Amino acid sequence: MADVFHLGLSKSMLRGATLAIVPGDPERVKRIAALLDDAEFLASHREFTSYVANIDGKPIVICSTGIGGPSTSIAVEELAQLGVRTFLRIGTTGAIQPHVQVGDIIVSQASVRLDGASLHFAPMEYPAVADFACTAAMVDACRDAGVEPHVGITASSDTFYPGQERYDTVSGHVTQRFVGSLKHWQELGVLNYEMESATLFTMCASQGWRAACVAGVIVNRTQQEIPDEAVMKGTEQQAISIVVNAARKLLS
């Protein structure tokens, strides 16, 4: 019988794991689990697919969060109820700085809170910031792979289209709040857009848990909007390998 409402998991199923890798995409969970030892499928409910596996004999959970802050907050809360205290997000992202190339890796130190879910955990004045040790492990894992990551600030939006100032929609309209926002974030040195880190960072920092985020760049929006499928898959796989290595460092 499940101990939590949405994930379909019980504490005993997690083998005592206190660290979770949390991709957005359910399909990515199996690919991560394939790199680990003694991987076991646990459950799949809505956007939440989960496995448990071992790294060097130590248990780890892999659980998808779906897209955006609200579903991420559900996954993190319920995993925390089951004993998890460290959350490593892995995803893909669109860069907004010209010097960030497709295929590069971004490690987020902090996030611009363009979401709504994070406000349910702390007021807007509270920073959405990653855990230092987890971020350092991500950077070290990148360098172990021969990759020099971009480390900086991410804009984390609840929406893919208006919140990231995209006009390729049915209406072609962006609400006034976001008109000119992409240029504004560029001027402030923000590296990229994604959709989960603000909620993850705020939630974890405010409750004494640890979180970090690594993402593979699949498009640079100063050049184009649509990613190349072949490049996307290779970049995603590299980010997966990095987050697994970071988890290994944190468990050692």
* Residue 78 bears catalytic tag: yes
Paired tokens of 105: 């890796």
* Residue 99 bears catalytic tag: no
**pLDDT bracket for residue 207 (50, 70, 90):** very high
- In the prediction, which pLDDT does 231 show? 87
* Residue 6 bears catalytic tag: yes
Q: What is the pTM of this model?
A: 0.98
pLDDT digits (tens, 9 = 90+) for 6-16: 999 999 999 99
CA distance 32 to 62: 7
**pLDDT bracket for residue 85 (50, 70, 90):** very high
Helix, coil or strand: residue 204: helix
Closest by CA position to 102, among listed 113, 112, 94: 94
Catalytic residue, candidates 113, 166, 194, 236: 166
Average pLDDT over residues 209-238: 95
Catalytic residue, candidates 47, 78, 194, 236: 78
CA distance 110 to 158: 16
* Residue 113 bears catalytic tag: no
Catalytic residue, candidates 6, 15, 85, 248: 6
Contact 204, 131 (CB under 8 A): yes
